[in-house]
Amino acid sequence: MTSLLGEILEGEPLTPREREILAGAADGETAAQTGARLFLSSETVKSYRKRVIAKLGARNGTHAVALALRTGLLPLRRPPLAQRRDVRLTPTASASRSASRTPLRG
């Protein structure tokens, strides 16, 4: 990585929060979804992601996830989001709207 941030941070260990942000990216979460789950703004999540990329010496977020999986920093298999205790699942706005429009039949 050629950025100043990369030069400063590359090789530094990830904090528990940075690992959680990286795990969210590996699960396919957007910054907004990760932020909602962890009670952070999406901009804060994006800042964490930049730091993770720099610390891992990755070219981008996808490369960071790949490096983390290859090196064992993230487990290859994690329980689905619905089965994890550390995840708060809430229905999306579109799911709530469509559910309210669907009549119940007996």
Distance CA 64, CA 85 (A): 25
Across 37-44, average pLDDT: 97
What is the arithmetic mean of pLDDT over 26-50?
Answer: 96
Q: Which domain covers residue 97, as residue numbers?
A: 4-101
pLDDT score at 24: 95
- pLDDT score of 106: 46
Question: CA–CA separation, 98 vs 95, rounded Å?
Answer: 5
Nearest to 22 by CA among 58, 11, 92: 58
> What is the pLDDT at residue 9?
75
Instruction: Give the whole-angstrom CA distance, residue 73 versus residue 19.
Output: 8
| Joined tokens for residue 88 | 């708060």
- Tell me, yes or no, whether 19 lies in a domain: yes
Residue 106 domain flag:
no
Q: Is the pLDDT reported for residue 49 higher than 70?
A: yes
pLDDT of res. 44: 97
Structure-model confidence comparison of residues 57 and 10, the more confident one: 57
pLDDT band of 80, cuts 50, 70, 90: low
* Token pair recorded at residue 31: 């910054």
CATH number of the domain within which 95 lies: 1.10.10.10
- Say what the pLDDT of residue 78 is: 64
Using CA atoms in the order 49, 50, 56, 59, what is the torsion angle rounded to 10 degrees? 110
Number of folded domains that form the chain: 1
**Burial category of 46 from C-beta neighbours within 10 Å (exposed 0-12, middle 13-18, buried 19 and up):** middle
